[in-house]
Copies of this chain bind each other. A is one copy, B any other.
């Protein structure tokens, strides 16, 4: 295989091909970190999960922390994409948001449920690594801004800002409350009782 990457007027050829797909490896790393946390995950676990040897993993990702940061930003990007796809695929913005919240509750019924990677990172690492805290906060700000943008197609700017704050708080609440045993009898009713404006559907 010849890649023909022009670098400084030269043509580089690749003499050995990577045996692994970095995207797949990242996905596996996300799942491991997500479940066990940063300090709770050992390199051994990551090597096992990815099937890589230490040398290869370090050549590609620099360090455990480097791998974690990449996993984190990958996860954050996927989150926003998922939200928007869900809203687009719904009959209305409010219906989309409502179904996102209902799903959060229902995901939590899975026995391997492990909450939100961003939230877990925030709580675990806020005391260790200020830059990660900033990093995660920025991602949450993006997510909130994204909800706000969607709400502005229905509500005034002021109300959209307010509702998107409520939304974030409730999402965080669901993310933690879901760990507790049983689901409310009717999840949708419960959500609408906290965020009644989700009922008014301007579709």
Contacts and interface: CB of A to CB of B under 8 A. Distances in A.
Contacts of A176: 119, 122-123, 172-173, 175-176
Contacts of A177: 168-169, 172
A22 to B, nearest CB: 25
Given A114-B127, A119-B176, A137 B181 contact: yes
Contacts of A127: 35-37, 40, 114
A174 B175 CA distance: 12
Nearest to A122: B179
Interface residues of A, number: 40
A174 B179 contact: no
A140 B115 CA distance: 17
Contacts of A173: 168-173, 176
A194 interface: yes
A168 B184 CA distance: 13
Given A40-B124, A171-B173, A172-B177, 13 more contacts: A37-B39, A37-B123, A115-B123, A119-B123, A120-B123, A123-B176, A133-B179, A137-B181, A140-B180, A165-B184, A172-B172, A172-B173, A173-B176
7 contacts: A37-B127, A40-B124, A119-B123, A122-B179, A168-B173, A170-B194, A173-B173
